[in-house]
Amino acid sequence: MPKDGGIGASTKRREDLRFLTGNGRYTDDINLRGQLHAYFLRSQVAHGRINAIDSSTAQGMPGVVRVFTGADFEGVGGLPCGWQVTDRFGQPMQEPAHPVLAQGKVRHVGDPIAVVVAESLEQARDAAETIEVDITELPAAVDMKAALAEGAPKVHDDLTSNLCYDWGFVEENKGAVNEAFEKAAHTVSLELVNQRLVANPMEPRVAVGDYDPWNDMSTLYTTSQNPHVIRLLMGAFVLGIPEHKLRVVAPDVGGGFGSKIFHYAEEAFCTFAARKLKKPVKWTASRSEAFISDAQGRDHVTKIELALDADHNFTAIRTETYANMGAYLSTFAPSVPTWLHGTLMAGNYKTPLIYVNVKAVFTNTVPVDAYRGAGRPEATFQLERLVDKAARELGVDPIELRRKNFIQPDQFPYATPVAVEYDTGNYDATMDKMLALSDYAGFAARAEESKKRGKLRGFGIAHYIEACGIAPSNLVGQLGARAGLYESATVRVNATGSISVFTGSHSHGQGHETTFAQVVAEMIGIDAGQVEIVHGDTSNTPMGMGTYGSRSLAVGGSALVRATNKIIDKAKKVAAHLLEASEADIELKDGKFSVAGTDKSVDWAGVTLAAYVPHNYPLENLEPGLEETAFYDPSNFTYPAGAYGCEVEVDPETGKVDVLSFTAADDFGNVVNPMIVEGQVHGGLAQGIGQALLESCTYDENGQLVTGSFMDYAMPRADDVPAYTVDHSCVTPCTHNPLGVKGCGEAGAIGSPPAVVNAVIDALHRGGLTHVSHIDMPLTPSRVWSAMQAK
């Protein structure tokens, strides 16, 4: 039984106290003296040429301070893209400019045209309605394949076409893969859509810009997952403000799921306008505005094929995917369908040959970027749907087909044909665990019982692999990343022994304030209450990359371990001096330094006090003080994996799918706080079930968003999902980070969509509806019913 507050304990979250009492401090809770409000006038058409903007009436309206348009941003940098993909012909991707406010053209509904800054938000909005924008509407490119056709409307006039890149991976494998298909005993193919989603963290985005002219200091408060990244991108590429004159603060942030990674126009605008007007400028998104200004997720159209030999061994996989970029390249958009998708196409299987082709396409829609899982859900969905379809076509058990092709425990480390090396794993173990926990053996009886009630019951399986903590920096640099992917931590031990940790990771629901303290407390052997975790402010945290891609513990936690080890090393030197012993003989246990084999000891606070009041201290050999910083750059990704089982009941009269149970058996390596890990899985499962059954971001043929609010975009509610059974007792620790951890934030959203869809297809087949081989997500009642009718 782990000690409460130490590694392995389900320690209650300390941050909950402020959230549960209404004392959280979110960005919209910040109101600065003299603050002005910004209202963005946005395009109502998907594609148009701006002929003229007349804001003369607005300028004179009550409370209006200034109206900004694209003309005010001439000479100001555009929003940068942080990843350059090289296409299969060795050429860089097409990379269009992304202005803060529209320059000459609007390219999606929601593209900002002008901003009114006024004393109140309603005044700004009143004035914005008087701005006359003369726009010539142009035909819109919406469907990806149509956007690539000859003569299609061009989203960017200065590009050669709407093709951002045509990526092949691994291009050299292509011939061998095609050959394997020619020789195959069986082939199976599937065409599917991984629909566009909206992340919809419950807190809409907010930005508050502030400027202190006496110190020439700009401050941006923003709803970000990575304040240092925003400072770097906005300071260096957009506004030209050096880091020491720019502070970015991401205070309590109400969820992100990827959508708050990216640098947005509104952040740059508020910082820019505050400098111009010498007053704080605040912008708060409404939910409706979030739907047309937050980067969206997924949106792949894929054909995937599998070749098998006569013994049902997988011999090759071939995919062709169209990936929607939207109208501009959001910060990390190009990396999602490539390096976060193609590299995962091996899944848990020892398929020797794989070729992935991805065509990234510009369309007149909101930009698309990483959303919980980012590329990995798309890879997992197509692969796990295809394996299920193969089992059905071959007449074999889908579990056995998976097991037959699993990479075996003795094959690790395992190099896949898509350029990654899995360090550890045991996929049969997670499969066994899931089947036991879900009482798979009792399924047939339950299906029979459903049948008596006129319902169709099905069981769906998916086994996923994911890659977390994208790294190392020197490799991703070769792959086109324009950033490093390390993480940082500063451990400041105070004189009385309390500790302040400054981390480059950022918590927006993940509970770092609790778990990071558990790690430090365990290592030193002190109470977790003595450790404070500080994050989210570039003025006091070391340069770090923030939180996304399930990286915080694997990368940020590793930096924390390294910094704490430096502290312990130095503290041992001090202890050795105080105890008049050799450093090599000093042991640290339960917050006490002792000399091995003796009863001589000094406690933690005794050492820390000596470090800051160095009256008895080896000043000739050692600096006083006790503060260390570490940067950690991982040598590899981590590879969580797991088996997911979903049991559904389909109402044949209405097509409605009820998820009766969901079982997740994950291998996350070691776990610091089981309660928090389980919570992360729960949340991912709800988002995955939401994708499978409810959520869809839909545009009409003119590029108008059809699902622009919660009235039409179906968010999962409490009664849409079951109680989950989650397990993380199958552990193969990561071999290359000090905690042996793998990351758990995205797994639920990656593994669950194929399990749900496989369960529905299983239910229909058991009900005799064997003509239904696939239904595209979301499996709404109408879609399921329609599929059942088609023969």
Partner 1 sequence: MTKISMTVNGRSVSAEAEGRTLLVNFLREALELTGTHVGCDTSQCGACVVHVDGKAVKSCTMLAMDAEGASVTTIEGMANADGSLGTIQQAFQDHHGLQCGFCTPGMVMSTAALLAENPKPTEAEVRHYLEGNICRCTGYHNIVKAVLAASGQDVSGMGVAAE
Partner 2 sequence: MYNFDFVKPSTLADAVAALAGDEAQALSGGQTLLPTMKQRLNAPATLVSLTGIPELKGVCRDGDTLVIGAATPHAVVAAEAAAHYPALAALAGGIGDPAVRNRGTIGGSLANNDPSACYPSAALASGATIVTNQREIAADDYFVGLFETALHEGEIITSVRFPIPTKAAYAKFNQPASRFALTGAFVAQYASGVRVAITGASEGGVFRWAEAEAALSANFSADALNGLAAPADRMIDDLHGTREYRAHLCGVMTRRAVTAAH
CA angle (426 as vertex; 422, 432 as ends), nearest 5: 150
By CB under 8 A, residue 12 contacts partner 1: yes
By CB under 8 A, residue 629 contacts partner 2: no
| Residue at token pair 């989950």 | 724
Beta-bridge partner residues of 115: 40, 68
By CB under 8 A, residue 686 contacts partner 1: yes
Task: Tell me how crowded residue 784 is: count the other CB atoms within 10 A of its CB.
Answer: 25
| Residue at token pair 């000739």 | 620
Using CB under 8 A, count the residues that bind partner 1. 65
Q: How far is the CB of 195 from partner 2 (least distance, A)?
A: 11
Whether the CB-CB separation of 655 and 631 falls below 8 Å is answered with: no
Of positions 23, 474, 782, 786, contacts partner 1 by CB under 8 A: 23
Q: Which stretch binds partner 2 (CB under 8 A): 4-12, 61-69, 122-130, 141-149?
A: 122-130
Query: What is the distance between the alpha carbons of residues 69 and 115, in angstroms, rounded to a whole number?
Result: 7
- Stretch 742-781 residues interacting with partner 2 (CB under 8 A): 780-781
Tally the residues of the chain: 791
Identity of the residue, 365 or 680, whose beta carbon is nearer to partner 1 in the bound complex: 680
Positive or negative: CA dihedral 123, 129, 132, 133 = positive
Of positions 385, 508, 512, 736, contacts partner 1 by CB under 8 A: 508
Query: What is the distance between the alpha carbons of residues 79 and 68, in angstroms, rounded to a whole number?
Result: 17
By CB under 8 A, residue 122 contacts partner 2: yes
Instruction: Collect all residues with Cβ–Cβ distance below 8 Å to 541 and sequence separation of at least 6.
Output: 227, 228, 488, 490, 502, 503, 504, 534, 535
Identity of the residue, 635 or 786, whose beta carbon is nearer to partner 2 in the bound complex: 786
Burial of 354 (0-12, 13-18, 19+ CB in 10 A): buried
Of 532, 470, 475, give the one whose Cα is nearest residue 503.
532
**Residue 706: which of partner 2, partner 1, none does it interact with, CB under 5 to 8 A by kind?**
partner 2
**Residue 694: which of partner 1, partner 2, none does it interact with, CB under 5 to 8 A by kind?**
partner 2
Token pair belonging to 753: 């969509």
By CB under 8 A, residue 16 contacts partner 1: yes
Q: How far is the CB of 127 from partner 2 (least distance, A)?
A: 13
By CB under 8 A, residue 125 contacts partner 2: yes
99 cis-preceded (ω within 30 degrees of 0) = no
- How far lies 364's CA from each of 138, 194, 293, in Å? 10, 19, 13
Q: How far is the CB of 571 from partner 1 (least distance, A)?
A: 33
Q: Which stretch binds partner 2 (CB under 8 A): 121-129, 174-182, 366-374, 432-440?
A: 121-129
- Stretch 57-116 residues interacting with partner 1 (CB under 8 A): none
Residue 137 φ/ψ, nearest 5 degrees: -70, 135
Of 199, 37, 201, 197, give the one whose Cα is nearest residue 120.
37
CA angle (322 as vertex; 316, 326 as ends), nearest 5: 150
- How far lies 594's CA from each of 20, 452, 731, 734, in Å? 42, 70, 34, 32
Token pair belonging to 727: 């397990």
By CB under 8 A, residue 20 contacts partner 1: yes
Q: Which stretch binds partner 1 (CB under 8 A): 44-52, 87-95, 411-419, 719-727?
A: 719-727
- How far lies 79's CA from each of 233, 269, 428, 543, 757, in Å? 8, 11, 46, 21, 38
Q: How far is the CB of 203 from partner 2 (least distance, A)?
A: 18
Of 130, 157, 128, 162, give the one whose Cα is nearest residue 147.
162
Q: Which stretch binds partner 1 (CB under 8 A): 22-30, 362-370, 460-468, 783-791?
A: 22-30
By CB under 8 A, residue 725 contacts partner 1: yes
Please report the DSSP string for 276-297 in residue order. HHTS-EEEE--HHHHHHHS-BE
Query: What track of x and - describes contact with partner 2 for positions 691 through 730 (by CB under 8 A)?
Result: ---x-x-x-------xx--xxxxxx----x----------
By CB under 8 A, residue 448 contacts partner 2: no
Of positions 6, 82, 99, 204, contacts partner 1 by CB under 8 A: 204
Query: What is the distance between the alpha carbons of residues 354 and 206, in angstroms, rounded to a whole number?
Result: 43
Q: Which stretch binds partner 2 (CB under 8 A): 130-138, 552-560, 766-774, 782-790?
A: 782-790
Query: What track of x and - describes contact with partner 1 for positions 409 through 448 (by CB under 8 A)?
Result: ---------------------------xxxx---------
Identity of the residue, 394 or 675, whose beta carbon is nearer to partner 1 in the bound complex: 675
**Residue 511: which of partner 1, partner 2, none does it interact with, CB under 5 to 8 A by kind?**
partner 1
- How far lies 545's CA from each of 378, 469, 534, 551, 638, in Å? 24, 11, 15, 10, 17
- Stretch 151-190 residues interacting with partner 1 (CB under 8 A): none
Identity of the residue, 403 or 682, whose beta carbon is nearer to partner 1 in the bound complex: 682
Of positions 453, 718, 789, 790, contacts partner 1 by CB under 8 A: 718
Using CB under 8 A, count the residues that bind partner 2. 28
Give the footprint of partner 1 on this chain (CB under 8 A). Answer: 12-13, 15-26, 28-29, 31, 122, 200-204, 252-255, 257, 286-288, 436-439, 508-511, 663, 675-676, 678-679, 681-687, 709-711, 715-719, 721, 723-726, 748
Give the footprint of partner 2 on this chain (CB under 8 A). Answer: 122, 125-126, 129, 286, 288, 653-656, 694, 696, 698, 706-707, 710-715, 720, 780-782, 785-786, 789
